[in-house]
Structure 1
Amino acid sequence: MAKLQGLDRGLRALEIISLSAEGLTLAELASRLEIDRAIAYRIVETLEDHALVTRGPHKRVRLGAGAVALAGRFHPQLVQAAEPVLRELADAVGAAAFLTVAHGDKECVPVLGAEPTRHQGPVRVGYRIGMSHPLAKGANGIAILALGAPDPDDSEEVVRAREAGYSITSGQLQHGATGIASGFEAPGLLGASVGVVAMGPLEKEDIAGQVREAAAKLAALSTA
């Protein structure tokens, strides 16, 4: 399928900028996009015109207020409802909690996360909000697939998740990381899941129950 090169570069630029807390110089952005600095300059100027990026001290490019406004329009009711639920789940389990939504029929994207308030050691899960990954990999994606009607092509993991009401995987998205997730239906979405991810093993039975409870809460809140 043919792409609009300028639009593709602009969207890639936004993604790259969003992952840099300190912002990027034009030279750094051009290098990561593998384009000339002059082209990077025009991309940034265009994004600035729409308030999607801004240049602050030392002319480092960061996300602008327009990006925040756009993000706030993505299922605000669900996201607002999910924040306290994820915080409660993260603290109860002692592991990072995430809300993930389906993106098409092959990928999913974590859209919100919460870390436990108590210290959990030096190792954290390298799980980035907004970064897509295959639905068929990771507990959160498999939990979403399990929401669908049974299909002969379903993997064993999806079948088990549908029967149990939750999925559990280890090492699929990050070496040593274990995830437990439960899917739920939400209006306007192809599917969603809530789950926890930690380095090392998790107490499956206890945590699975808490994850399923959180998913049930979000399903009810998203339709209220």
Structure 2
Amino acid sequence: MATLQGLDRGLRALELVSLTSEGLTVADLAARLEIDRAIAYRIVRTLEEHGLVARQGKRVRLGAGAATLAGRFQQQLVLAAQPVLQELADATGTSAFLTVAHGVRECVPVAGAQPTVQHGPVQVGYRIGVRHPLERGANGVAILALQPPVPGESEEVALAREQGYSVTSGQLQQGATGIAAGFEVAGAAGASVGVVAMHTFDIEPVAARVKEAAARLASLGGA
């Protein structure tokens, strides 16, 4: 299928800039895109006009417009995720949740669903919008497992990376067990979908449901 060369180059340039926290020079972009420096300069100027990049000295970094688009995407993701979360909650009899990374050290639940029919005497009410460290809770561990291994990482993260899902107990709420699976999402360091309950349940079949939900959400615009 034919593509628009200029648009393709602009999007590729934007992606390259997004991957480097220190930014890129116009010369860097020209080299990586294998184009003339004058063309790279025009691409940067066009992206600047739309607020998608900003120049600080000689380096080009993401602009406020990129953050605005990412925020709108996350809002759309929350809306699209709601039926997936409800299906997951009903299928597992647990509280289901969607969590997005907040920076590089924290994560925040942004949506949740309760099962239509309550299972067990106590139902966990997940606190939407309350941030917590990535290292605590199945949702954060699942997000960390999306990243390459690093020295000193916890066994929980390594195991989650191997299994494709994380399991934690009592880390965010005493007596609660959580299962989560991570997926890539635009505009964030990662996201996860999972369940949490106070009652006991079979880990493997629930984990399979959670991983299926993560795959569905990833297809909505994540990886």
| TM-score, length-scaled by structure 2 | 0.66
Alpha-carbon shift at residue 134 of structure 1 (Å): 0.9
The residue type paired with residue 210 of structure 2 is: V
| TM-score, length-scaled by structure 1 | 0.65
What is the aligned partner in structure 2 of residue 156 from structure 1?
A: 155
Structure 2 CA distance for partners of 1:173 and 1:95, relative to 1, 3 Å = same
The residue type paired with residue 221 of structure 2 is: S
What is the aligned partner in structure 1 of residue 111 from structure 2?
A: 112
Alpha-carbon shift at residue 123 of structure 1 (Å): 1.5
The residue type paired with residue 128 of structure 2 is: I
CA distance in 1, matches of 2:75, 2:198: 30
SS at match of 2:220: helix
Give the conservation status (yes or no) of the 8 Å contact 2:181–2:193.
Answer: yes
Please give the per-residue CA displacement for 1:35-63, whole angstroms capped at 9, x wherever unaligned: xxxxxxxxxxxxxxxxxxxxxxxxxxxxx
CA distance in 1, matches of 2:125, 2:82: 20
Question: Any gaps of 5 or more consecutive residues in structure 1?
Answer: 1-71
Aligned length: 153
What is the aligned partner in structure 1 of residue 202 from structure 2?
A: 203
Please give the per-residue CA displacement for 1:80-106, whole angstroms capped at 9, x wherever unaligned: 210000000000000000000111111
What is the aligned partner in structure 1 of residue 90 from structure 2?
A: 91
Alpha-carbon shift at residue 121 of structure 1 (Å): 4.0
Alpha-carbon shift at residue 214 of structure 1 (Å): 0.2
When the two chains are superposed, the root-mean-square deviation of aligned CA atoms in Å is: 1.6
Give the conservation status (yes or no) of the 8 Å contact 1:167–1:181.
Answer: yes
The residue type paired with residue 130 of structure 1 is: G
Give the conservation status (yes or no) of the 8 Å contact 2:134–2:143.
Answer: yes
Show structure 1 runs of 4+ deviating over 4 A: none
Give the conservation status (yes or no) of the 8 Å contact 2:94–2:123.
Answer: no
What is the aligned partner in structure 1 of residue 140 from structure 2?
A: 141
Counting aligned pairs with the same residue, the percent is 67
Give the conservation status (yes or no) of the 8 Å contact 1:100–1:109.
Answer: yes
Please give the per-residue CA displacement for 1:117-170, whole angstroms capped at 9, x wherever unaligned: 002244222421000111000000000000001111210000000000000001
What is the aligned partner in structure 1 of residue 167 from structure 2?
A: 168
SS at match of 2:101: strand
Larger deviation, residues 122-131 vs 153-162: 122-131
CA distance in 1, matches of 2:221, 2:83: 14
Give the conservation status (yes or no) of the 8 Å contact 1:171–1:178.
Answer: yes
Question: Any gaps of 5 or more consecutive residues in structure 2?
Answer: 1-70
Alpha-carbon shift at residue 191 of structure 1 (Å): 0.6
CA distance in 2, matches of 1:105, 1:186: 14
Give the conservation status (yes or no) of the 8 Å contact 1:77–1:222.
Answer: no
- Larger Cα Rg: Structure 1 or Structure 2? 2
Alpha-carbon shift at residue 212 of structure 1 (Å): 0.3
